[in-house]
Structure 1
Amino acid sequence: MTALTVSTTPTHADCVVIGIAQGPHGPVLAPGAADFDGTLIELLRTVGVTGAEGEAVKLPAPAGSGARLVLAVGLGAAGDDGYDVEALRRAAGVAARTLAGARRVTVALPAGTAEAVEAVATGGLLGAYTFGSYRTGDRAAAPVRELAILAGRDGQAAAEAAVRRAGVLGQEVNRARDLVNTPANDLYPESFADVVASAGREYGLAVEVLDERALAAGGFGGILGVGQGSVRPPRLVRIAHTHPEATASLAFVGKGITYDSGGISLKPVGANEIMKRDMSGAAAVFAAVVAAARLGLRVNVTGWLAMAENMPSGSALRPGDVLRVYGGRTVEVLNTDAEGRLVLADALVRAGEERPDAIVDVATLTAAMRFGLGNHLFGVMSNDDAFRDRVVDAAARAGERAWPMPLPKELRKSLNSRVADIANYGERMGGGLVAGLFLQEFVPAGIPWAHLDIAGPAFHEGEPYGYTPNGGTGCAVRTLVQTAQDAVR
């Protein structure tokens, strides 16, 4: 695990990271690199450095710098207010990835405010992430052991607090990434629930696990129906952080399909290989609740993790079957690959019984959302436009890219069923919005609710960039934590 520290003066390190920006007449040294003389920038210009985001160039360190190497990372062009915090996060992430295996790295990026310090520390910790649990010997990548964030001399206490918060956020995002990257033969509903219970004991969180018998007794027909085709029985897990001074309460609901074959409505060849990712929403909710506890947020946050494995078999759910979800409503299942909304329906109704101030659900729910927004943004739908906008704003401040989406009433009729209260599948055009309309049916009246469809950015199949690795990204953890922070009154 990478350690984070903060310092006001450079100390001995394997490498010093500096920022290079795009100036009006070529690359320039960014603040934080002022201790380096002008020969360095001339050398960087000679080798073709431009200062664009994503650039990373290693050079021998000048004498007296206390390091063997200098790593120059691109920041892009500075704005009127300096450098965008997301550019700082990404630059720190590039540095941490580039320097994998180093023992100690001093990060001298522009970090004159506590917000900038937190951005650099968060980006560095996320960029240093590796998943080596299934690699043997020297094939396991080693992350940077220690990142020393160089902050301004003023506000040392604020800088240290920012690094502590960044440490919690980075570790919890990486916790979610680890879960998403774990193959489904090792991470299934029962083992996932065990991980949550263990964390609950470690951080003093209340954890309740409903197994298949308790789910049947309670009438959780959505979770049971999706999970009935697998030899791995489903679970519903409740994990709660409570604070004695809390004046607000939130419920986070996460889709936890530990493997999604599509069931009888089997996915086509080429669509199954990354379906271990279909529990990314539950991983994000779990990590966010733990982060809220570790940060001591003065808000009560309850996470609901709806876990099942969606498999085809002789006992599997069939198209045309009717389920009775928690609370009594009936759902005709027209497509067994529209299973996430079924497990979320149970969890939303149950979460609403506790009458939180707001509910946010997170799910890799629809390919339609991925088609519409691509792989870098997630959609946000809500029964309350003001609450939707607050969540989108929280995402932006946390460093995640979200986009407000509508819930058009005219699409609701496509979910009408001839035999049940509602069907689980409707019009294909606008399918992500139709899924949101389905979920809205199970949110108790009077409770603001937002639905985050993270199907695109939850799992990155390409080459790493910035602080984003290949595989699970931990998408939505930071948005949920920021939403909880914003609820503190």
Structure 2
Amino acid sequence: MSTPPDLRISQEAADAAEVDVLVVGTRPGTSEEDSDDAVETVSAAPPVLVGSDGLDAAFGGELAALLALAGAAGAAEEVVKLPTRGAITAPLLLAVGLGPDPDARAADGTAGAPDLAEQVRRASGAAARALGKTATRVGSTLGALDLTAAVEGTVLGSYAFTDYRSAADDPVRTVTFFGAAGGSGGAGERENATLADAAMTARAVCAARDLINTPPNDLYPAEFARRARDMGETVGLEVEVLDESALAEGGYGGILGVGGGSSRPPRLVRLRHTHPDATRTVALVGKGITFDTGGISIKPAANMDHMTSDMSGAACVVATVCLAAEQNLPVNVTATVPMAENMPSGTAYRPGDVLTMYGGKTVEVLNTDAEGRLILGDAIVRACEDSPDYLVETSTLTGAQVVALGSRTAGIMGSDEFRDRVTAAAVGAGEGGWAMPLPEELRGDLDSRIADIANVTGHRFGGMLVAGLFLREFVADGVPWAHIDIAGPAFNTGGPHGYTPKGGTGLPVRTLAAVLADIAGKG
């Protein structure tokens, strides 16, 4: 990936800072009515500067008007560049729109309006993307609004996957945040700790993005397992890797069945973070299909290349447990990560096969393209053997998620109370998500003619919910659990936006991290 920027906090005045470009935030101004005896018009007001107290004075009180002349209106993620002509030390000012005041939007009933933190995160990301390769010393006043969000947005917006570029220009960039405390003393130490923690979280997201963006010829199960081991051991995790022989000996029929068609055999990776003060244990499970052709039930050729992202859940779980270790979070976390490649061949599993899963439950395979739930079933049973207090699983599981909720909103299912807790964490982290039901009347549609359960129903209705019901069959009784379906949000096939690039997004690392922090603090 690209080198993450070097981040600092400064108490220096932003207008006198030795930087190449200074980033400031704007909001829409209030339109004014102009009237005379003949005609009445509405003129657009200049944008309002936010979090940049005193900067306007350097421009003789005309900064907002100058930005308006350059086309700035304060709209969300709008970027306008303005030469400063010596008014401040930085030769270039970059104004990025935050959008309308979130309190005002909440008051008028606007649904889904981002809160201040997410506005700052998106604006910081948009500014980082707009800078491209032109500036190596950047200043930002957005940290005065929300330092954590500004740091996360800056690091995530600066991300680029350059490993396969023959000539990647990757400038070393320094970003200095003005208007936050910083320096020595209690307040400064807190702000510096906030910066370090936010940067750590953002780098974990970038690590997940790197794994997701790595092409499947270079990230097959054994290589994915090797990289997960290296990442885990680097931060002091206990790591266990089961190869195909160990999987066969252990009876992992779901993982072996799905991975049987590939010349590159499956793996199961376990990574464990422990803390002496922990009072709770959390199991994380993530789907690691390194490429999904659909198997014998082969997918259409169009957009099959997107299936390089079918291991996004696994990538995010690996990155999250490593982040928990880096942060020395006082909660025990064990990640159980099944990895397989779903390929058609003479050794591939077939529609009509019956697989005996880890733990003994049998599954009739009606569609080999519903493979993720099979490897997850094995992993969930294994994870529950550790008697966790909570279990969170995430996966690019169903196209039905995209149909129901679109490409940016994850569907969250599970036991009601914990599902809602995870949903609140997702919304609070800025990644978003929507709590979904598990209707009991759909469970009967998974009844099998010959086995304990079938892997799909005979119809297309409620596909996301049916997949959640299938996974529920493998969760141990009494374990609060949540399933996060990220089929759409995990991989951005459109243009970049905010702090989200094309390709792997790293969602839901920040949600998982927020859940772990919540459990560590509240139990």
Class of the TM-score when normalised by the shorter of the 2 chains? over 0.9
Matches within 5 A, 1:81-480: 84-101=116-133, 102-109=135-142, 111-112=144-145, 116-137=146-167, 140-142=168-170, 145-153=173-181, 155-382=187-414, 384-426=415-457, 427-480=459-512
Aligned to 2:30: 24
Query: Would you say the 8 A contact 2:254–2:358 is kept in 1?
Result: yes
Query: How big is each residue's C-alpha offset from its partner over 1:253-290, in whole Å with a ceiling of 9 and x where there is no partner?
Result: 00000000000000012131111100000001001101
What are structure 1's unaligned runs of at least 5 residues? none
User: What is the distance in 2 between the residues matched to 1:153 and 1:198?
Assistant: 37
d(CA) in 2 for partners of 1:399 and 1:15? 27
Q: In the TM superposition, what is the alpha-carbon distance from 1:47 to its structure 2 partner?
A: 2.3
Inter-partner Cα distance in structure 2 for 1:370 and 1:286: 24
Question: CA-to-partner distance for each residue in 1:57-89, whole Å, 9 max, x for gaps?
Answer: 111125252212110000112234997110000
Rounded Cα–Cα distance in structure 2 between residues aligned with 1:206 and 1:398: 28
CA distance in 1, matches of 2:22, 2:74: 17
CA RMSD of aligned residues (A): 1.4
1:66 corresponds, among 61, 81, 89, to 89
Contact 1:292 1:481 in 2 (8 A): yes
| Residues 143, 374 of structure 1: alpha-carbon distance in 2 compared, 3 angstrom cutoff | farther
Cα pair 1:262 1:311 within 8 Å, conserved: yes
For 1:448 and 1:469, locate their aligned partners in 2 and report how far apart those are by CA, in whole Å.
33
Taking the aligned partners of 2:180 and 2:52, their CA distance within structure 1 comes to 9
Matched letter for residue 278 of structure 2? A
Of the structure 1 ranges 45-54 and 443-452, higher mean CA displacement relative to structure 2 is found in 45-54
SS at match of 1:13: coil
Amino acid at match of 2:408: H
Query: How far apart are the structure 2 equivalents of 1:192 and 1:269?
Result: 25
Q: Does 1:77 align with 2:100?
A: yes
Instruction: Using the TM superposition, give the Cα deviation of residue 330 of structure 1 relative to its aligned residue in structure 2, in angstroms.
Output: 0.5
The SS at the match of 1:193 is helix
Q: Could you say if the C-alpha distance between residues 62 and 240 of structure 1 is closer, same or farther in structure 2, counting changes exceeding 3 Å?
A: farther
1:100·1:144 contact (CA, 8 Å) conserved in 2? Answer: no
Question: Structure 1 residues 356, 81: CA separation in 2 closer, same or farther (over 3 Å shift)?
Answer: farther
2-structure distance, mates of 1:95, 1:249: 39
Q: Secondary structure at the match of 1:396?
A: helix
> In the alignment, is the contact (CA less than 8 A) between 2:390 and 2:480 conserved in 1?
yes
Match of 1:48 in 2: 71
**8 Å contact 1:28–1:51 — kept in the other structure?**
yes
CA contact (8 A) 2:9 2:180 kept: no
Preserved contact between residue 19 and residue 33 of structure 1 (Cα < 8 Å): no
- Count matched residues: 483
1:128-184 CA distances to partner (integer Å, 9 max, x unpaired)?
0000110112xx253661211223348322221111111111100000001100000
Per-residue CA shift, 1:296-334, capped at 9, x if unaligned?
A: 110011111110000000100100001000001110000
Q: Which amino acid aligns with 1:109?
A: L
Give the letter for the 2:6 counterpart. A
Give ranges in structure 2 of 5+ residues lacking alignment. 32-44, 106-114
Structure 1 range deviating more: 172-181 or 31-40: 31-40
1:110, distance to aligned residue in structure 2 (A): 5.7
SS for the counterpart of 1:370 is helix
User: CA separation in 2, counterparts of 1:108 and 1:306?
Assistant: 43
1:83-107 CA-to-partner distances (Å, cap 9, x unmatched) read 7110000000011111122211111
Q: Is the 8 A contact 1:252 1:359 kept in 2?
A: yes
SS at structure 2 position matched to 1:465: coil
Q: CA deviation at 1:387?
A: 0.5
Give 1:14's aligned residue: 20
Tell which structure's C-alpha radius of gyration is larger: 2
Return the alpha-carbon distance in structure 2 between the equivalents of residues 153 and 145 of structure 1. Answer: 22
Give, in whole Å, the separation in 1 of the partners of 2:218 and 2:169: 21
Q: Deviations over 1:231-258 (max 9, x none)?
A: 0100000011111111111000000000
Structure-1 separation of matches of 2:295 and 2:84: 57
User: 2 CA distance for matches of 1:247 and 1:478?
Assistant: 22
CA contact (8 A) 1:53 1:87 kept: yes
State the alpha-carbon separation in 2 of the partners of residues 175 and 111 from structure 1: 27
CA distance in 2, matches of 1:152, 1:439: 45
Question: Which whole-Å deviations, capped at 9, do the CAs of 1:386-438 have from their partners, x for residues lacking one?
Answer: 11110000111111110000000000011101111100011420001000000
1:99/1:144 contact within 8 Å kept: no
Higher mean displacement: 97-106 or 300-309? 97-106
Moved over 4 A (4+): none
Indicate how the Cα distance of structure 1 residues 141 and 363 shifts in structure 2: closer, same or farther if over 3 A, else same. Answer: farther
State which drifts further: 263-272 or 86-95: 263-272
SS of corresponding position for 2:290: strand
| TM norm structure 1 | 0.96
